[in-house]
């Protein structure tokens, strides 16, 4: 079984590998690519999963074939969830498809892809003062909570 790498801030390497990583696109250059419309006939969980992919960090790097694979997987997921006699292998194939699309933290770590939480820049605060890892993590969590609160307000119509 392959080991899952730790996040970059927890790794301590002395023999650093040189890995070609794709440059991060600036926020202003990011645009939402064309996605197929989610079917109104899908199971609610499959529909929510498919719609959530549009907002996920890795979606920026999806190619048209990846977006089509996500649509197909949502279709399959809907059928599996609607079938009361679905076999475990059907659920397993859906989970494998989700891993291939890097939908889980585990699969992203295995692929050496790290996504920053919304609003996290990874830079020290202005003024050059450095913060401890605990303070930085607290700020990241606070930013994530604010992001969740904003999403909750949008969904509730408040």
Is 86 part of a structural domain of the chain? Answer: yes
Is 99 part of a structural domain of the chain? Answer: yes
Question: Cβ distance 113 to 74 under 8 Å?
Answer: no
Mean pLDDT for the stretch of residues 122-141:
53
Q: What pLDDT score does 62 carry?
A: 85
Is 146 part of a structural domain of the chain? Answer: no
More confident residue, 27 or 53: 53
Is 30 part of a structural domain of the chain? Answer: no
Q: What pLDDT score does 154 carry?
A: 73
pLDDT surpasses 60 at 130:
no
Q: What pLDDT score does 118 carry?
A: 63
Residue 94, Cβ density class (10 Å: 0-12 exposed, 13-18 middle, ≥19 buried): buried
Question: Cβ distance 125 to 136 under 8 Å?
Answer: no
Question: Which domain covers residue 50, as residue numbers?
Answer: 43-117+135-140
Mean pLDDT across the chain, nearest whole number?
A: 76
Q: What pLDDT score does 79 carry?
A: 94
Share of the chain above pLDDT 90, in %: 30
Q: What pLDDT score does 153 carry?
A: 72
What is the number of domains present in the chain?
1
Is 64 part of a structural domain of the chain? Answer: yes
Instruction: With 0.85 as the threshold, say if the pTM is over it.
Output: no
Is 3 part of a structural domain of the chain? Answer: no
Q: What pLDDT score does 66 carry?
A: 92
Is 23 part of a structural domain of the chain? Answer: no
**In this predicted model, what pLDDT tens digit does every residue of 45-101 receive, in sequence order?**
999 999 998 888 888 778 899 999 999 999 999 999 999 998 999 999 999 999 999
Question: Cβ distance 32 to 38 under 8 Å?
Answer: no
């Amino acid at each position: 079984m392959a080991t899952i790498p730790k996040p970059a801030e927890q790794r301590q390497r002395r023999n650093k590998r040189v890995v070609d990583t794709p440059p991060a696109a600036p926020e202003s250059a990011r645009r939402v690519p064309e996605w197929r419309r989610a079917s109104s006939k899908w199971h609610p969980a499959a529909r929510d999963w498919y719609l959530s992919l549009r907002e996920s960090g890795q979606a920026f790097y999806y190619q048209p074939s990846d977006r089509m694979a996500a649509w197909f997987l949502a279709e399959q997921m809907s059928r599996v969830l609607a079938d009361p006699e679905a076999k475990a292998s059907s659920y397993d194939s859906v989970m494998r498809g989700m891993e291939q699309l890097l939908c889980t933290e585990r699969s992203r770590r295995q692929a050496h892809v790290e996504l920053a939480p919304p609003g996290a820049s990874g830079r020290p605060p202005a003024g050059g003062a450095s913060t401890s890892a605990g303070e930085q993590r607290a700020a990241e969590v606070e930013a994530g909570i604010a992001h969740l609160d904003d999403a909750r307000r949008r969904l509730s119509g408040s």
